[in-house]
Amino acid sequence: MRRPGETETLGAYVRQARVRRGVTLRQLAGQLGITPSYLSDIENDRRVPSQEVLEGISRHLRLDLDELLARAGRLDPETQEYLKRSPAAIRLFRRIAAHRLDEEALAKLEKSAEQLGQRKK
């Protein structure tokens, strides 16, 4: 049982979405081009899937890719490259984590980032 504020694991999240959609483990594995044992390992949090597999899971189960990436502790390659070039972005992430901003505050921050991006164009 999860404690309040504790995030559901990637594996549990994927399994619940798969079951909700009425897809068997073997069916989803076939759609993804991976073995059922590999998908079972993902659902039991024994393996962290690649970006490509996460994209397939997102597409086939209609899940938000950003949510899957976050639960897997992964960043997409473009974001990784940006963070390598931009120490200020790392500082921003560290401050967000230190202040434990809630979803409402993060949504406001995301909206501000979108507005700043639009001004830059």
pLDDT given for residue 76 in this prediction: 85
Confidence band of 15 (pLDDT split at 50, 70, 90): very high
- Sign of the CA dihedral 28, 30, 34, 35? positive
Q: What does the domain layout of the chain look like in residue ranges?
A: 10-72, 77-120
For every residue of 10-23, DSSP letters joined together read HHHHHHHHHHHTT-
Predicted confidence (pLDDT) per residue in 16-41, tens digit: 999 999 999 999 999 999 999 999 99
* DSSP for 62-121, written as a single string: T--HHHHHHHHT---HHHHHHHHH-HHHHHHHHHHHHHT--HHHHHHHHHHHHHHHHHH-
- Which tokens go with 56? 């397939």
**pLDDT 10s digits, 51-95:** 999 999 999 999 999 999 999 999 888 999 999 999 999 999 999
- Name the pTM for this structure: 0.74
The dotted CATH code for 10-72 is: 1.10.260.40
Question: Could you tell me which residues come within 8 angstroms of residue 45 by beta carbon, excluding any fewer than 6 positions away?
Answer: 9, 10, 11, 12
The encoded tokens of residue 104 equal 């409402």
Q: Which pLDDT belongs to residue 3?
A: 42
